[in-house]
Amino acid sequence: MSTSSLPQRLPERDAFHVYDTTLRDGAQREGISYSVVDKLAVARLLDDYGVGFIEGGWPGALPKDTEFFARAADGELELDHATLVAFGMTRAAGRPAAEDPQLAALLAARTDFRGHGALLRRV
């Protein structure tokens, strides 16, 4: 695949890039509760630091995460260095992917990549 067909913000293949989970894993620590405004501000700071990938949360699982991705996609979050990714899961057992609300929320997050731990898949 030619790199010219990839999005401009896609980090170089041979470079080392940090995959930051502060907005999801970091938010699970006792006593931490990010508002959507907090999450937008932290994402901007991470981008300023040069982080390659920012995992913004799990859309569909938490209302704040769903709102964060909607606001980011609507232009409230402009990133110069980082690529915003969403945490998610495969479809629920016994449910077709087309009918899974978690997968629908993941797609509605409107990110270029979907993250699951350290795994990234281009969509």
Per CATH, the architecture of 15-122 is what? Alpha-Beta Barrel (3.20)
What tens digit of pLDDT does each residue of 16-72 get? 778 888 898 888 888 888 999 999 999 999 999 999 999 999 898 889 999 999 999
Neighbour-count burial for 57-80, b at 16+ CB within 10 Å, e otherwise: bbbbbeebbbebbeebeeeebebe
Per-domain residue ranges of the chain = 15-122
Please state whether the predicted TM-score (pTM) of the whole model is above 0.85: no
Backbone angles phi and psi of 115, in degrees to 5: -105, 145
Q: At what angle do helices 36-49 and 63-71 cross, to 10 degrees?
A: 60
What is the C-alpha separation between 96 and 115, in angstroms, rounded? 21
